[in-house]
Structure 1
Amino acid sequence: MFKFWLLPVWVEETTVSALILIIALVIAKLINWILEFLEKVWFAGESNLYQKLISSLRKPIYYLVFVLGVAYLFNRWEENYTGIDQRVFKILHQLIYLAQVTIATFFLLKIIHPLLELYSEKVQQRTGSRAGEEFLILARRVIIIIVLIITLVAVLDHFNIDVKGLLAVLGISSLAFALAAQDTLSNMISGFVLMIDKPFRIGDRVKLASGEIGDVYEIGLRSTKFLTLDNSLIIVPNAELGKSKVTNFSYPDPKIGTKIEIEVALDSDVNKIKNVLLELAKGQPLIVEQPPPNAFLTAITDKGMRFSLVYNVASYNDEFKTQEDLRCNIEKKFKQEKIEIALPQAVVHLKGEKDLKKQG
């Protein structure tokens, strides 16, 4: 049987060191293989979040295990080689620390990315907006900057370097940036709130505080676009949108209530008018049964009696089409039933011949 103590000391230490590195590599490879198996086999068909997380963490874990093996090797050298200047081992330990911090930072960033990606996908599915992609890009950059700053401060503090000056510079720079980009940041924060609150989705028909009616065309991180009924595009900053009143005709469902007003002659039969209007409304396929349509006598004017036919349409997209069909059917039915539609009247007085001659 081969005995290590029969070898020279330097050969024995070299062999043991090589074995430690080989074992560290084998363990790292084994863990990497297990994670690969979980990614491709165990979580196959599951939510791709697990697959993305495992895929992102394989390399950081592989390097971390190997670095831990190297750290163990350096500790062993420090114990066995007491004659070597301790400053050498101090430098080696500092290098190990830097490697561990780098891997930990890489590890953290790798975890954050699939989580942000999953959140942005959910936002995009619920709102139909591309703002999730913009948010993912912005949030990823901000988080990378924050993580790198924290890492830099931690490393400098570890090496006993005063970081107060750096923190002061970062604080002043952040304040200056916030003041310079106040409007942009306000719009972005409002856009983020819109994505969380979800007051409307792509395709919803809304009425803005300014009175325009249109469909939500695109929800961005800085502004939201609306396509009006005359095919004009309105761009509203998110900060302004968050402070104003918005009426959503599509939520909680696309059903919309509307009405048609019509005036008939004063001598018309009220019950007959109401029955005719309700009959025509119930014959329209786009008008929903619940709540049922209703007809009301709303006013009596010098021209005639004003009636309002109130009803609900299954979709706001059919509102104008239904109104047109009803008006055409009302006009046709009133002619059949000899119902006179009230029209403006004017009394004209003609002067006699004597008055005309006098003026002549």
Structure 2
Amino acid sequence: MTVLFAHLAAYIAAKWAKRTVTQLDDIILSKIKTPVYYLILLAGVTLAISFLPLPASFKTALSKIIASIILIVSCYLVAFFLNLLIKTWLSRTKEVIGKSRQKDLMAVSRKILNFIIFILLIIFILSLWGVKVTALVASLGIAGIVIGLALQTTLANIFGGIALIADGSFKIGDFIQLETGEAGEIIDVGLRSTRIKSFDEGNEIIVPNSNLMNSKIINYGRPEVFLKKRVKIGVAYGSDVGKVKQILLNCAKEIGEILKNPPPEVYFTEMADFSLNFEVVFWINNYKHRLRVQDKFVSLSYEKLQLQGIQIPFPTRTIYINKK
């Protein structure tokens, strides 16, 4: 009867899986069909043993053997589903950590998870057979505390890396600026640290993940990859404000790296001690080119202003001497 029920359950599940569009349920069913079949079969055998006229000691031993097998099969199913969840989650992190790092992280996660499930399985089976596991569990707890204290910094970095990946704060190729002022492109997100290629020096900056988790980061790739740039330019008093604004606006439009949408803008911001100050606001689509674009814009602006006879001021002082 149990065998018929197990076959019927497998048949119904297979029919249901074929009707769905996704292939995931077919893959899951192919992996768990045999273990679930044996679980149902063993449950039926356990029920049958309770009705058989067998010696109590034999019944107890046989029940423990079957229960041990059920525990093993159940742990296999738990490990399978948890590994599937980890694989599904990590498949969404390819852009963040890269394909090779994704495979490494998946392998490490699978080994850690399987090891934990194996230890729990051993404890459950020993407890089932009457072995006192209190001392063993206490020893494992003490060992865990000692290892945790010894590897406190390393574990903080590892959990920080997992949290960064899960949060999706940045991915490989993003341009970020640290709280310390250092800026660069993310080239690797590891379990212990994140590697950043500095823009200014070209050096590699290695930052522990726990530090990144507890600091403020500017990500120039989120929510858009565009970078807003502000450039201040001063001209001499007596200059035509409207003319200066038009010249600066035309200069911004002439440079190809400056985006047309959103359009560049020019503001007359201040009448300072020695100059009339303007601020030019424009957008570029690559943070790495910010200095090059600024150089082009300032150089072109200086040239155009000079051609139009608009002077660039420098600090001067007029001293009046009263002769008496």
Q: Which of 208, 211, 233 is the aligned partner of 1:262?
A: 233
Instruction: Name the structure 1 match of 2:26.
Output: 51
Are positions 1:253 and 2:230 aligned together? no
| CA positional deviation for 1:176 | 0.6
Instruction: Name the structure 2 match of 1:42.
Output: 19
Correspondences of 1:12-51 after superposition (within 5 Å): 24=3, 28=6, 31-32=9-10, 35=13, 41-43=18-20, 45-46=21-22, 48-51=23-26
Are positions 1:169 and 2:139 aligned together? yes
| CA positional deviation for 1:234 | 1.3
Instruction: Name the structure 2 match of 1:9.
Output: none
| CA positional deviation for 1:95 | 1.2
**Closer, same or farther in 2 for the Cα pair 1:248/1:32, shift >3 Å?**
same
Are positions 1:206 and 2:165 aligned together? no
Amino acid at match of 2:153: D
What do you get for the CA RMSD once the two structures are aligned? 3.0
* Structure 2 segments unaligned to the other structure (5+ residues): 318-324
Amino acid at match of 2:33: R
2-side partners of 1:128 and 1:178: how far apart? 26
CA contact (8 A) 1:222 1:237 kept: yes
3-state DSSP of counterpart to 1:338? coil
Are positions 1:65 and 2:40 aligned together? yes
2-side partners of 1:228 and 1:52: how far apart? 45
Instruction: Name the structure 1 match of 2:267.
Output: 295
Instruction: Name the structure 2 match of 1:308.
Output: 279
Q: Which of 175, 178, 185 is the aligned partner of 2:148?
A: 178
Are positions 1:342 and 2:313 aligned together? yes
Amino acid at match of 2:227: I
| CA positional deviation for 1:341 | 2.9
| CA positional deviation for 1:53 | 2.3
Are positions 1:140 and 2:115 aligned together? no
Pick which of 210-219 and 150-159 moved more.
150-159
Amino acid at match of 2:130: N
| CA positional deviation for 1:168 | 1.0
Paired residues, number: 314
**TM-score (norm: length of structure 1):** 0.75
Are positions 1:238 and 2:214 aligned together? no
CA contact (8 A) 1:225 1:235 kept: yes
Instruction: Name the structure 1 match of 2:321.
Output: none
1-side partners of 2:239 and 2:303: how far apart? 17
| CA positional deviation for 1:66 | 3.6
2-side partners of 1:66 and 1:297: how far apart? 83
Q: Which of 280, 288, 293 is the aligned partner of 1:322?
A: 293
3-state DSSP of counterpart to 1:245? coil
Amino acid at match of 2:31: S
Amino acid at match of 1:63: Y
The 4+ residue runs of structure 1 with deviation greater than 6 A are none
2-side partners of 1:289 and 1:96: how far apart? 71
2-side partners of 1:86 and 1:279: how far apart? 98
Cα deviation, 1:285-344, whole Å, max 9, x if unaligned, reads 533444751233446355x44433222334435533432332343133223312233357
Pick which of 304-313 and 176-185 moved more.
304-313
1-side partners of 2:269 and 2:58: how far apart? 99
Instruction: Name the structure 2 match of 1:15.
Output: none
Cα deviation, 1:100-149, whole Å, max 9, x if unaligned, reads 11111112111211111111112335x35456545433443333233233
Amino acid at match of 2:284: V
Q: Which of 276, 284, 299 is the aligned partner of 2:247?
A: 276
Pick which of 191-200 and 62-71 moved more.
62-71
| CA positional deviation for 1:272 | 2.3
**Closer, same or farther in 2 for the Cα pair 1:236/1:206, shift >3 Å?**
same
Amino acid at match of 2:233: I
Pick which of 199-208 and 59-68 moved more.
59-68
CA contact (8 A) 1:134 1:221 kept: no
| CA positional deviation for 1:71 | 3.5
Instruction: Name the structure 1 match of 2:320.
Output: none
2-side partners of 1:181 and 1:332: how far apart? 61
2-side partners of 1:29 and 1:181: how far apart? 50
2-side partners of 1:42 and 1:144: how far apart? 33
3-state DSSP of counterpart to 1:251? coil
Cα deviation, 1:62-106, whole Å, max 9, x if unaligned, reads 322343454355445x33xx5xx4323322222111111111111
**Closer, same or farther in 2 for the Cα pair 1:51/1:343, shift >3 Å?**
farther
Instruction: Name the structure 2 match of 1:150.
Output: 120
CA contact (8 A) 2:269 2:279 kept: yes
3-state DSSP of counterpart to 2:187? strand
| CA positional deviation for 1:202 | 2.0
